[in-house]
Amino acid sequence: MMKRTATVLAALLLAAGCSNGNSNSSGGSSNTPGVTDSSILIGTHQPLTGPAAAGYSEIAPATKAYFDYVNANGGVYGRKITYKIMDDGYNPANTQQVVRQLVLQDKVFAIVNGLGTPTHTGVLDFLKTNRVPDLFVASGSRTWNQPDKYPGTFGFNPDYTVEGKILASYVKQTYAGKKVCFLGQDDDFGRDSLEGVEKVLGPVAAKQTYVVTNPNVGPQMGAFKAAACDVVILASIPGFTALSIGTAAKIGFKPQFVVSNVGSDPSTLTKTLGAAAPLLEGVVAANYLPLDTDESNPWIQLYKKVNSQYNGNAAFDNNVVYGMSVGYLFVQALQAAGKDLTRDKLTEAVQKGGFTGPALVPTRFSAQDHSGYAGEQITKLTGGKATYLGTPYTTDDADGAVTAYSGAAATPPQNGIPPAQ
Amino acid sequence: MDRFLYLTFDGLSRGAVYAAFALALVLIWRAARIVNFAQGAMAVATAYAGYSVANATGSYWLGFAVAITSGLVLGAVVERVVMRFVDHSSPLNGVVVALGLVLIIQGVLGMIYGNEYRPAPAPFSRDAFEVGGVAILSRYDLFVFAAVGAVVVLLTLLFTRTSTGLRMRAAAFAPDVSRLLGVPVGGMLTLGWALAAAVGSLAGMLVLPTELGLHPNAMDLLFISAFTAAVVGGLDSPVGAVVGGLLVGLLLSFVSGYLGAQVAPMAVLILLVVVLLGRPDGLFSKAKARTA
Amino acid sequence: MTIVEPRAARTKNRQKSARVRKISPLLVVIAGAIIVVALTYTLPPFRNYQLATIGAYLCVTAGLTVLTGLNGQLSLGHGALMATGAYTLALWQNKFDLLLPGIMLAVLVTTVAGGVIGLAAARLRGPYLAGLTLAVAVVVPSITSTFDKTFNSDQGLSVALDPPPGVLPVEQWQAWICWAGALVTVLVLAYLIRGRFGRDLRAVRDDETAAKLAGVGVARTQVMAFVVSAACAGLSGALFAVLAQSVSPGAFPLTLSLFLVMAIVIGGLGRLTGALIGAFLLVVLPSVAQSIAEDAGSQHLEGNLALTFFGIVLVLVMLAAPGGLASLKFPRRSRKQKGQ
């Protein structure tokens, strides 16, 4: 036994020794990890597989396509952006692994657009300890908006509480006096959203939760049917939006569905519902970026061009619009950070804020506020496509009023790349 | 009252699928004394084949037939090419090999088809009938009952009335004696695996339209529920598999409906503990000889 | 239905255990500690993190190989026991932030849980035991979702941890903690196996009736084996909570329990060396598979190529070396024994 143990341990040592060599593949200058004179390495964690992959798996490739477009036009201050996309399957445990790999082994400059409330919450402390900029988290949780606790973390999506208030205001106006129920994901996403809804509408008639690992929402829809809900607000990812609408129809329950932005992309829902797609007619949702079907919008024209040239002409939907908008914002931040690029300079540039881009509302970045976009505009799904209703609204996470936003939309630069500062 | 009726029939419908799958597990257990942990993955693979054909030709039934047939083929292949060479002195080896097969199958499926959830439409409407104003069954549920019922009847006839069935039972129960009497034991084993895989494929095709979609991991939960059902019923007993399946289906339906979806697995655990404490070999196990 | 080793292997084992008696486990453990400390000073941070993960896995694989290899009880639920230890540590740390008492409490709580499961499982054999433990493994997300005020459902909990003492890098500190736990586990198990407990375990595995006639309490032994392996699993889970600084049901899925079984079978059932090999493979194989897939290019392929590779390795090893890697003979020695 001794000999064998010895052999095993020796083999381990050898393996460790061999691996020592190839671990420093993407070094960069010792001062700023991930940055050389000609390249920037950034990373992200995304659900490329698993129950949240529907729709969301298209986001990172779209962002990467936009970066490829920028690289083809000279990059940012001569540096080409490499975007390493790691799959965590929407499982917080996997996120721990891949983010550690990105930061410790690949030595990325920053983490950009890490996706998911339950997944990203677990890596905040690790990223803070390692002083890695954690930009434009793909989620509306309020956890990203803690400048004192997590100075390097910045949001992108409008807070779920903000969205909840805006959706609830629409319901209050349009469906006054009707019974409102709420189905949310059993984590901060669902909780924050419910809080926003109840701030405007008061306690809902019935509330249920779902977990991503249990794809059966029959009991929840059954409970809503028993409570005779007229309106059901969904804080769900696309797969579960489709599941809820489909399951409700099967038990003969047909309320007005009002869906969170993150779970309402019409193309994704149509694909997931398949033959049951007509059920989407009349569903209300919200958005803050140009709609994928708005051919006259200059941003959509730019994105479609990039999509056909650099994204393998993938199916063009709101997830692609989202991904490219993230890419655009990140390049803006890089330009603002200047040629002498360090992690601190990047976070300072983001904190300064003032970015104008494709979104209908402004960002809220400041020294006291690290949350993303300030509001949304209501959409309605007709014929499988979404159209905007009314005007955009902005509000805050607390008890501030929901106010209409009247700022004009920005147009993209001539070549579609944010100019140097 | 509506809720109760709806949950009962929903539970029976799911339970029928669990019963079918549990039957597949019992078939292999009786033939080879292995729990086929790869049953779910094999069923998914055949479902992919079936839905590819269905999408290509536009005919669900053609795809359905392809799924069952590829189940037969896959079961036979797995037995001949892999299981036959496993050292069965320790039952764990069979378990590990089956788990390795699961990884290979799911990996290959992911590579060929990708990991997104594909819609798996049902051949019949899944909207519930209204009987006296109460939504109870759907046409699809009736189809499920009919399919599983047919399988149970066919298998029973096969094993009790045909000579092939007799040979299969002999090969499983007393392989050496059967060999002496001219029964091709290896061939019977392969046939057993093929049949079991075909039944598993049927169960898979039946359950898929009720899930989130077709993807490489779609049958993992089904396998767990069916394995539980088979254990509850007694791995040696086909009757036990059917009863166990219906029991588990009903239990899951009622618990999810009245207590919430998250409590369901705990209810299953409690069921298992209660049954196994009283009858450690399952509900329909034969009495064992006393050893002390 | 217990797991019975063929007669030839049993005789070889007896010969081997006679030899083993001469080498003190304490010496092996001390040598191991020295090697690990040396490694932590030379390895880069990510490798130290992987080394720490191997140590954490070794705790549970060692306990599981004793349970399944030496006592013949197949458990598909040890992931759930790890989760018990991990959540206990998380809840404790978030209240009190005292690591060592927290780990001990995690081990204690998991031992109790293991005792309860062991009692329920004492009369079960083979696939029926597997079915029960499978249900235990699957129940973890259910418990965290039902009692979501305490356990926060699928999102899980963060684990409050103090930074390492002095200027020690985090990953090195993690590797020390995990290997301290692993080496203690291996030491305790090694002594237990050599003594009366080990003999009872094997006696019950090989022939229950004979064991009973010889005066060995079968049910008591089964439960004790479960309890011991549960304690190891609890320690492992607590260490994983420290490593990831968070706990969630997704960290302890059914596949973890299945991978643990695969690891100990491939490593070599019933041997602590096998447990070490298994722990090593659990960390290294997915990593190697992923780099192969990355080199192959396509995003589509990545995770799936890794899975397929893992699966092929498993099947091949099982077909080629059913006794596990630790049972592989060095060709020179066996040729000599054959009198060449």
Residue B289 has pLDDT above 70, yes or no: no
- pLDDT confidence of residue C160: 86
Interface test with A, best of B9, B212, B217 (most A CBs within 10 A): B212
Going by pLDDT thresholds of 50, 70 and 90, the confidence category of residue B215 is confident
Among the ranges given (A101-115, A292-306, A348-362, B210-224), the one the predictor scored with the smallest mean pLDDT: B210-224
Helix axes C78-95, C254-267, angle to 10 degrees: 120
> What residues make up the domain containing C75?
7-253
Separation between Cα atoms, residue C141 and residue B224, nearest integer Å: 14
Q: Does domain A39-158+294-373 have CATH number 3.40.50.2300?
A: yes
Average pLDDT over residues B96-114: 86
| Residue in C closest to B29 by C-alpha | C127
Which chain C positions have a beta carbon within 8 Å of B220's beta carbon?
A: 254
Task: Return the DSSP state at B212.
Answer: S
Among the ranges given (A88-92, A135-139, A333-337, B18-22), the one the predictor scored with the smallest mean pLDDT: A88-92
B107 → closest Cβ in C134, C209, C308: C308
pLDDT tens digits, one per residue of A146-195: 999 999 999 999 999 999 999 999 999 999 999 999 999 988 899 999 99
* Alpha carbon of A8: minimum distance to chain C alpha carbons (Å): 8
Among the ranges given (A48-62, B134-148, C71-85), the one the predictor scored with the smallest mean pLDDT: B134-148
> Residue A214's Cα: distance from chain center in Å?
22
SS (H, E, C) B244-292: HHHHHHHHHHHHHHHHCHHHHHHHHHHHHHHHHHHCCCCCCCCCCCCCC
- pLDDT confidence of residue A271: 85
Identify whether C266 is part of a domain.
no
SS (H, E, C) chain A: CHHHHHHHHHHHHHHHHHHHHHCCCCCCCCCCCCECCCEEEEEEEECCCCCCHHHHCCHHHHHHHHHHHHHHCCCECCEEEEEEEEECCCCHHHHHHHHHHHHHHCCCCEEECCECHHHHHCCHHHHHHCCCCEEEEECCCHHHCCCCCCCCEEECCCCHHHHHHHHHHHHHHHCCCCCEEEEEECCHHHHHHHHHHHHHHCCCCEEEEECCCCCCCHHHHHHHHHCCCCEEEEECCHHHHHHHHHHHHHCCCCCEEEECHHHCCHHHHHHHHHHHHHHHCCCEEEECCCCCCCCCCHHHHHHHHHHHHHCCCCCCCHHHHHHHHHHHHHHHHHHHHCCCCCHHHHHHHHHHCCCCCCCCCCECCCCCCCCCECEEEEEEEECCEEEECCCCEECCCCCCCCEECCCCCCCCCCCCCCCCC
- pLDDT confidence of residue A12: 57
Percent of chain C with pLDDT over 90: 45
- pLDDT confidence of residue A26: 43
B15: buried, middle or exposed (CB in 10 Å: 19+, 13-18, 0-12)? buried
Average pLDDT over residues B23-29: 90
B99 → closest Cβ in C1, C139, C314: C314
- Inter-chain residue contact A252 with B115, CB threshold 8 Å: no
- pLDDT confidence of residue C16: 53
B127 → closest Cβ in A57, A222, A249: A249
Identify whether C249 is part of a domain.
yes
How many structural domains compose chain C? 1
C45: buried, middle or exposed (CB in 10 Å: 19+, 13-18, 0-12)? buried
**Residue whose structure tokens are 């989407």:** A280
Mean pLDDT of chain C: 85
- pLDDT confidence of residue C114: 95
Identify whether C173 is part of a domain.
yes
- pLDDT confidence of residue C236: 97
Which chain C positions have a beta carbon within 8 Å of A45's beta carbon?
A: none
Torsion of CA C298, C300, C306, C307, to 10 degrees: -160
Average pLDDT over residues A297-313: 93
A20 → closest Cβ in C43, C273, C302: C43
Going by pLDDT thresholds of 50, 70 and 90, the confidence category of residue B84 is confident
Identify whether C327 is part of a domain.
no
Other chains touching B, judged by 3 or more CB pairs under 8 Å: A, C
Question: How many Cβ pairs within 8 Å bridge chains B and C?
Answer: 163
Which chain A positions have a beta carbon within 8 Å of B263's beta carbon?
A: none
Identify whether C269 is part of a domain.
no
Average pLDDT over residues A12-36: 56
Residues of A with CB under 8 A from a CB of B: 48-51, 53-54, 57, 210-211, 214-220, 222, 226, 239, 243, 249-252, 271-275
This complex has an ipTM of: 0.83
pLDDT tens digits, one per residue of A103-139: 998 999 999 999 998 899 989 989 998 999 999 999 9
- Inter-chain residue contact A274 with B126, CB threshold 8 Å: no
Average pLDDT over residues B79-105: 84
Percent of chain A with pLDDT over 90: 66
- Inter-chain residue contact B117 with A53, CB threshold 8 Å: yes
- pLDDT confidence of residue C5: 53
- Inter-chain residue contact C39 with A15, CB threshold 8 Å: no
- pLDDT confidence of residue C340: 36
Identify whether C316 is part of a domain.
no
* Alpha carbon of A175: minimum distance to chain C alpha carbons (Å): 32
Residue B223 has pLDDT above 50, yes or no: yes
Percent of chain A with pLDDT over 70: 93
* Alpha carbon of B261: minimum distance to chain A alpha carbons (Å): 7
- Inter-chain residue contact B276 with C128, CB threshold 8 Å: yes
Going by pLDDT thresholds of 50, 70 and 90, the confidence category of residue B282 is confident
* Alpha carbon of B12: minimum distance to chain C alpha carbons (Å): 21
Which chain C positions have a beta carbon within 8 Å of A48's beta carbon?
A: 299, 302-303
**Residue whose structure tokens are 């063929």:** C6
| Residue C91 near residue C21, CB atoms below 8 Å | no
Query: Bigger pLDDT: C262 or A71?
Result: A71
C299 → closest Cβ in A16, A19, A85: A85
Identify whether C11 is part of a domain.
yes
Residues of B with CB under 8 A from a CB of A: 3, 6-7, 10, 110, 115-117, 119, 121, 126-128, 130, 135, 138, 211-213, 256-257, 260-262
Low-confidence ranges of chain C (pLDDT < 50): 1, 332-340
Separation between Cα atoms, residue C212 and residue C195, nearest integer Å: 18
- pLDDT confidence of residue A375: 93
Other chains touching C, judged by 3 or more CB pairs under 8 Å: A, B
Going by pLDDT thresholds of 50, 70 and 90, the confidence category of residue A241 is very high
Residues of chain A with CATH 3.40.50.2300: 39-158+294-373, 160-287
- pLDDT confidence of residue A185: 93
C292 CB within 8 Å of a chain B CB? no
pLDDT tens digits, one per residue of A307-324: 999 998 889 999 999 999
| Residue A134 near residue A109, CB atoms below 8 Å | no
Q: Which CATH class is domain A160-287?
A: alpha beta
Going by pLDDT thresholds of 50, 70 and 90, the confidence category of residue B130 is low
* Alpha carbon of A283: minimum distance to chain B alpha carbons (Å): 20
- pLDDT confidence of residue C11: 54
Take residue B10 and report the two structure tokens written for it.
């929903």
* Alpha carbon of A2: minimum distance to chain C alpha carbons (Å): 7
Separation between Cα atoms, residue A320 and residue A326, nearest integer Å: 10
